[in-house]
Amino acid sequence: MNHGFPEGFLWGGATAASQVEGAWNRDGKGLDTQDCRSMPAGLTREQKNSWEFKEMTSEKLAAAIACKDEGTYPFRWGSREFDRWEEDLDLFAEMGMKIYRLSVSWARIFPNGDDAEPNQAGLAYYRRVFEGCKARGIKLFVTIQHYAIPVHLVEAYGGWKNRKVIDLFVRYAKTLFENYGDLVDYWLPFNEINAGRFHPFNGVSLIRDREENFDQSVHQALHHQFVANARVVALAHEMLPGVPVGCMIARFCHYPATCRPEDQLQCLHDEQYTNWYYTDVMMRGYYPAYIDRYFETMNVHLDITDEDRELLAAHPCDFVSFSYYFTQVSTIDEGWEKTGGNLVVASKNPYLETSEWGWQKDPTGLRITLNQLYDRYHKPVFVAENGLGATDVLEQDGSVHDPYRIDYLRGHVQAMRDAIEDGVDLFGYTMWGIIDLVSCGSEEMTKRYGVIYVDADDAGRGSFDRYRKDSFYWYRKCIATNGEDLD
Ligand code: BG6
C-alpha cells in the first residue's frame, strides 16, 4: 500500500490567460472570445449567475467588437498579470510551487487565428514567463486553449463547427511546440473539453441564434476538437518525444438521489453524457456505444471520416486531468431542489454544505472520482483545478483571513492522499486560481479563489497590488511537507 504523497508530487497552481493576463490589445494581441463577455454595472449576484447573462448572443458580440476600450469587459483587464508576471512568479516561488498551470492566449500568438505569421511580441511574452518559471525551479503545465479563441475565427469561420479550424489549431500548437518545446513539461490541448456542451460559447465558440440545429452544431464542433486533440497528441509525440500530453474535463461527479433503480439509471446516464463520453474518446480512442442513443434522441448525426476514427484510435492522451469543485445528485424527480455549479445548475445533496455560490463542497467525491478515473483508464491522473470561490476581506494591515479556504483545501488534499493510498497513480495538483482572477462563470473579481489577494473590484478599480492570504502560508507549509502537515 502507498503511504502519503509520492516524492516529487507536483504541487502547484492554475490560471487561464483570459482571466489573469489583461492587456487584451497590447503587443499585437487580437480580440478574443472572452474579451467579448461583458459585465454591465448594477447586476445582482443572481443576475450574474443566470444563464441569460452568461449566454452569448450575436447582438452582444457585435457590441463587444465595436467597443475599443476595456469598457465593461472584465477579461480585458483580468488581474493584470501581463504587467506583473515577475512579481507573481516570485510569490509562486516563495510558496514553493513545483508547477504552474497556465494557458497561452491563441490571439496573442495568432491575432486572427489564420494569420500568415505568428505575432513575435506575443511569442516573446510567453518565452519570458516560461523562462521566468524555469529560473525559479517551477515546472510548466501549459493549456493550449482555455476557452478563448480569436474572435475572427467565430466571425469568418463559425468557430469550432468548421473543420478548417482544426488545421488552424494544429498550426498554432506546432508554433508553441517549436518555440517552447524546450521549456514546457506537460501539454494540455483543451481546457474542460466538455464545456462545449454546458457552455457552447466558451467551449466551442457557438452562438445559439446563429444555429439551426444547435445540438448538431455543438457535437460536430466537439468532434472537431477531439480530432484536433488527437492530431496535437501525434504532433507532440513526434516533435517532443517523452513530453506527456493530457486531456481534461470538468468532472461532475453524480450520486443517485435515492436507491430507486430509475435514479441509479439516471445517474449512469448523467455520468456517461457529462463525463465519460469525453474522456472515453480521448483516452480509449473511440466513440463509446452508449453515445449513439443520446445522439439519436437529440437528432444529432455526426460527420466522422474513417481518417478521423484512425486518428482518435492511434493517438490517445498520456494522462487524464480534470477540474473538480463540487458534486451533485441524479434523479428522475423534476421537482428536486437545485443549486449552483460551474456554468451549470446542479441538483442538491442534503448531506453537503455549499459555498457562497451554491457549489456543493465534497472532498469524498474527489476520492471517488480519482478512483473511478484510474480504474477506467489505468493512466496517470492529475487534478488540474480545485479551489473555493469566496468573498475575502483585505484588512488594514494587508492580511486576509480565509479559514474557509484552508478548510476546503485541507479536505481535498486529504482526499487525494486517501486516493493515492487506494492505489491511484495521482501525480499532481494545481489549485485554482492560485491568484485572484476574474471568474469565468460570473465574471466577478470578488468571487476570489486565490491564496494571493489582488486588490481590484468587479469593475476593475483598485491598485491590483498583491497580498498573501492566510491560505498562502498554509499552502506553503503543505507543499514543504509534501502534504503531511495540513494543520
Ligand atoms: C473551471 C474553468 O470551469 O472553473 C475556470 O476552467 C473557472 O476557467 C473555474 O474559472 C471556476 O469557475 P468560476 O465560474 O467560479 O470562475
360 CB near ligand 1 (under 6 Å): no
pLDDT of residue 50: 83
Average pLDDT value for residue range 354-359: 93
440 CB near ligand 1 (under 6 Å): yes
CA-192 nearest atom, ligand 1: 6
Q: Could you give the CA distance from residue 195 to residue 321 in angstroms, rounded to a whole number? A: 14
pLDDT of residue 375: 98
Q: Could you give the CA distance from residue 429 to residue 427 in angstroms, rounded to a whole number? A: 7
- Label each residue of the chain as H, E or C: CCCCCCCCCEEEEECCHHHHCCCCCHHHCCCECHHHCCCCCCCCHHHHCCHHHHCCCHHHHHHHHHCCCCCCCHHHCCCCHHHHHHHHHHHHHHHCCCEEEEECCHHHHCCCCCCCCCCHHHHHHHHHHHHHHHHCCCEEEEEEECCCCEHHHHHHHCHHHCCHHHHHHHHHHHHHHHHHCCCCCEEEEECCCCHHHHCHHHHHCCCHHHCCCHHHHHHHHHHHHHHHHHHHHHHHHHHCCCCCEEEEEECCEEEECCCCHHHHHHHHHHHHHHHHHHHHHHHHCCCCCCHHHHHHHCCCCCCCCHHHHHHHHHCCCCEEEEECCCEEEECCCCCCCEEEECCEEEECCCCCCECCCCCECCHHHHHHHHHHHHHHHCCCEEEEECCCCECCCCCCCCCCCCHHHHHHHHHHHHHHHHHHHCCCCEEEEEEECCECCCCCCCCCCCCECCCEEECCCCCCCCCCCEEECHHHHHHHHHHHCCCCCCC
Whether the per-residue pLDDT at 342 is higher than 80: the answer is no
Nearest CA to ligand 1 atom 9: 440
pLDDT of residue 201: 97
444 CB near ligand 1 (under 6 Å): no
Contacts of 461 (CB under 8 A, 6+ apart): none
Average pLDDT value for residue range 377-392: 98
pLDDT of residue 386: 98
Cell numbers describing residue 243? 513530453
Q: Could you give the CA distance from residue 52 to residue 408 in angstroms, rounded to a whole number? A: 30
Chain length of the chain: 487
Which amino acid does the sequence have at 357?
W
Grade residue 51 by pLDDT with cuts at 50, 70 and 90.
confident
pLDDT of residue 214: 96
Q: Which residue has the higher pLDDT, 442 or 19?
A: 19
16 CB near ligand 1 (under 6 Å): yes
Respond yes or no: is residue 385 known to be catalytic. Answer: yes
User: Dihedral (C-alpha) 223, 224, 226, 228: value to the nearest 10 degrees?
Assistant: 170
Number of Cβ within a 10 Å radius of residue 300 = 18
CA-439 nearest atom, ligand 1: 16
CA-433 nearest atom, ligand 1: 10
Average pLDDT value for residue range 47-62: 89
Closest CA to 147 of 62, 78, 230, 240: 78
Instruction: Report the CATH architecture of 10-480.
Output: Alpha-Beta Barrel (3.20)
| Percentage of the residues of the chain whose pLDDT score is greater than 70 | 99
To test the ligand 1 pocket, which listed residue (385, 434, 444) has its Cβ within 8 A of the most ligand atoms?
Answer: 385
pLDDT of residue 343: 63
Nearest CA to ligand 1 atom 14: 441
Respond yes or no: is residue 262 known to be catalytic. Answer: no
Which amino acid does the sequence have at 252?
F
- Do residues 74 and 41 make contact, with C-beta atoms less than 8 angstroms apart? no
98-117 per-position pLDDT tens digit: 999 999 999 999 999 999 99
Q: Which residues of 69-106 are buried (b: 16+ CB within 10 A; e: fewer)?
A: ebbbbbbbbbbbbbebbeebbebbbebbbbbbbbbbbb
Q: Which residue has the higher pLDDT, 286 or 341?
A: 286
Average pLDDT value for residue range 34-56: 88
- Mean confidence (pLDDT) of the chain: 96
Whether the per-residue pLDDT at 435 is higher than 90: the answer is yes
pLDDT of residue 340: 77
To test the ligand 1 pocket, which listed residue (432, 444, 445) has its Cβ within 8 A of the most ligand atoms?
Answer: 432
Cell numbers describing residue 418? 486517501
Which amino acid does the sequence have at 487?
D
Cell numbers describing residue 342? 460551474
To test the ligand 1 pocket, which listed residue (342, 343, 357, 386) has its Cβ within 8 A of the most ligand atoms?
Answer: 342
Q: From ligand 1's centre to the CA of 303, what distance in Å?
A: 31
Q: From ligand 1's centre to the CA of 421, what distance in Å?
A: 29
Q: Distance from first CA to last CA of the chain, Å, rounded?
A: 24
Whether the per-residue pLDDT at 451 is higher than 90: the answer is yes
194 CB near ligand 1 (under 6 Å): no
Whether the per-residue pLDDT at 287 is higher than 90: the answer is yes
Domain ranges of the chain: 10-480
| Catalytic hit among 21, 81, 385, 443 | 385
Closest CA to 399 of 453, 475, 344: 453
463-476 per-position pLDDT tens digit: 999 999 999 999 99
In Å, what is the CA distance from 357 to each residue of 342, 390, 468, 485? 10, 8, 23, 29
In Å, what is the CA distance from 380 to each residue of 227, 425, 452? 22, 5, 29
| Catalytic hit among 192, 271, 337, 395 | 192
Cell numbers describing residue 152? 475572427
In Å, what is the CA distance from 197 to each residue of 158, 202, 325? 16, 10, 18
195 CB near ligand 1 (under 6 Å): no
Residue 375: burial class (beta carbons within 10 Å; 0-12, 13-18, 19+): exposed
Average pLDDT value for residue range 230-253: 97
- Give, in degrees to the nearest 5, the angle at Cα 396 between 391 and 400: 40
